[in-house]
Amino acid sequence: MSTPNRQDPRLVVVMVGLPARGKSFIARKLQRYLNWLGYRARVFNAGDYRRQRLGAYQAHDFFDPDNPAGSEARKELSMAALDDLLRWLAHGGDVGIHDATNATRERRRLIRERCDAAGKRVLFVESVCRDASIVEANVLATKLTSPDYVGMDPEEAVQDFRVRIAHYERSYVPLVDEDGSWVKLIDVGRRMTLNRIGGHLPARIVYFLMNTHITPRRIWLSRHGQSEFNVQDRVGGDPPLSAKGLAYARNLAEFVQTSIATDKPPRVWQSMLTRSRQTAEHLMLPTEPWKALDEIDAGICDGLTYTEIETHHPEVFTARRHDKLRYRYPQGESYVDVIQRLDPMILEMEREEGPLLIISHNAVLRALYGYLTGRAMEEVPHVPIPLHTLIELIPTAYGCNEERYFLGPVA
């Protein structure tokens, strides 16, 4: 993984497609991924502008292409989002994501002209879904929790939204060659079509989109149980679990078997280190060891206590406290290094459509948690990931639902 190239022209990613095709889910996934890599990325959602300025609920006829007032209002809201996006790019942003239907060639032409005038590149991302069952699932799962329908009877909300989709279908024109640079995702990534893709950042975005989907699933994160080094406050090494750590491993196995059982057992990923392997072995499930999940390499400080580091390597202690994200242990790693080595694993995680349990280490899980919850890279080293706690994350179109389960014993 390369460091973000700040010399590249700023990029505008423009979402395209009918409602209930996963555009907002994809847009926010892309934002999380780019922020996690160190790019400054932000989603500008036209629906948010509509809700802020006109109120949360607008009846379906507001979206009727034969309603001139509604059409003009929607155009103004879309352009307001684009104007704010371009201003944000001009003040240091790297990637602005315009999240709207952008269903007509006229709207896309207008967006491209404004971006061209501002000297910004444009990449259109269209989500096409021909599978009626996927659309129906998105209507029920996403729009019943949408801020557009807060407090509304679920059946009325679904009916209203279906009519809204029908309005958009009357004016929708898919991307064609003349639209410029674009990627088309068909049936949540089962097929992909590319057109005029050039440059490092667009290519990187395409590769991420190639490995993603919008299927809801659960991801569980757990540190290994308490190790002998945790007891001694030592960093790194390959120590075994303590008695409390072994007790946690048994509690985790019982919880997995009784409380998170699903029709499809979770895939289990673990690091290559002893304390992670010992935590996983009680699960009675196949496990997959990943070198990328090993703890941050502490280099010359491996096996030392923090007091010993401060005493014998005061320059290391001070420098790392000053910049925990970027400081690299001598002969070891920084948090940025950890993020870089996790990048290929993130793509494998995105390809996985079933439940996933990851047993790893503090720094690594901070990085993974930061990605899944949309934390900026600078926040990653400070995310609390306590021992003996199972973290459940469910990425959604509007964020990430989280539950934490303390499974004891007290560390």
Catalytic positions are 99, 129, 224, 295
Judge contact between 123 and 179, C-beta under 8 A: no
C-alpha distances in Å from residue 252, one per residue of 35, 222, 248, 286: 32, 9, 6, 15
CA distance 206 to 198: 10
Q: Label the pairing between strands 219-223 and 191-195.
A: unpaired
Q: What 3 state SS string does the chain have? A: CCCCCCCCCCEEEEEECCCCCCHHHHHHHHHHHHHHHCCCEEEEEHHHHHHHHHCCCCCHHHHCCCCHHHHHHHHHHHHHHHHHHHHHHHCCCCEEEEECCCCCHHHHHHHHHHHHHCCCEEEEEEEECCCHHHHHHHHHHHHCCCHHHCCCCHHHHHHHHHHHHHHHHHHCCCCCHHHCCEEEEECCCCEEEEECCCCHHHHHHHHHHHCCCCCCCCEEEEECCCEHHHHHCECCCCCCECHHHHHHHHHHHHHHHHHCCCCCCCEEEEECCHHHHHHHHHHCCCEEEEHHHCCCCCHHHCCCEHHHHHHHCHHHHHHHHHCCCCCCCCCCCCHHHHHHHHHHHHHHHHHCCCCEEEEECHHHHHHHHHHHHCCCHHHHHHCCCCCCEEEEEEEECCEEEEEEEECCCCC
**43: amino acid identity, one letter:** V
Partners of 181 in beta bridges: none
